[in-house]
Amino acid sequence: MGLRFQRVLRIFPWLRLNVSKSGVSGSLGPRGADINIGRHGVTTNAGIPGTGISYRSKLGSHGSKIGVLALVAALGFAAFKNADRLTSMFQHPPTSVASAAKTLTASKRELAAQNVADAATPATGVRYVHRGGSDLRDSPTASGRVLKKESKGAQVALVSVAGPWAQVRDGNITGWMRASVLGAQPPE
């Protein structure tokens, strides 16, 4: 017997790295239906969680076809059990985008449509701030130091555009703002 050591590191929801005294292996799949790849080969594991009933077989050995069939059945059961989660994963954008989209009001959607139209205009000239309290930053990142808070309707000079960021000049201060808060026309 002696000393035992095992540590499971979860990389992604259904991908795990297993570290033990005998070596390192990787497991792919949900609990009760996974494939383990290690130094001793590829093993399929299929079981019913909470019952203690499971089937394990090494691929390439006698009975490996049963193991693969059991794994497919267990994966089908796991997919059926988690159908609502799987459906939501494929129907909606990632959480941060989804939560941002939920907070978008109709007027903000119109503003976004106008900003798409503004993209066809030259990347210089006068722009108006359409969202009060917008930050003018020293770099084109959300973590850049805030130089000034712009009020709604403030007029700024557009210097350049770099992706979602616009470099603008307000008086003697030049900095970066989100391009989505700027419009070619004064806000209503």
Mean pLDDT of successive 10-residue segments in the chain (188 residues)? 81 84 85 81 81 82 68 72 68 52 50 48 76 89 88 90 89 90 86
Query: 61 in helix, strand or coil?
Result: coil
Full set of structural domains in the chain with CATH:
6-91 (no CATH), 105-183 (2.30.30.40)
Q: Which two tokens stand for residue 64?
A: 């490996």
pLDDT, position 106: 45
For 125, counting Cβ atoms within 10 Å of its Cβ (0-12 exposed, 13-18 middle, 19+ buried), the class is exposed
Closest CA to 15 of 32, 1, 35: 35
Residue type, 26: G
Closest CA to 30 of 6, 41, 52, 46: 46
Per residue in 9-28, is it b (16+ CB within 10 Å) or e — as a string? eeeeeeebebeeeeeebebe
pLDDT, position 120: 43
Give CA–CA dist 164/141, Å, rounded: 10
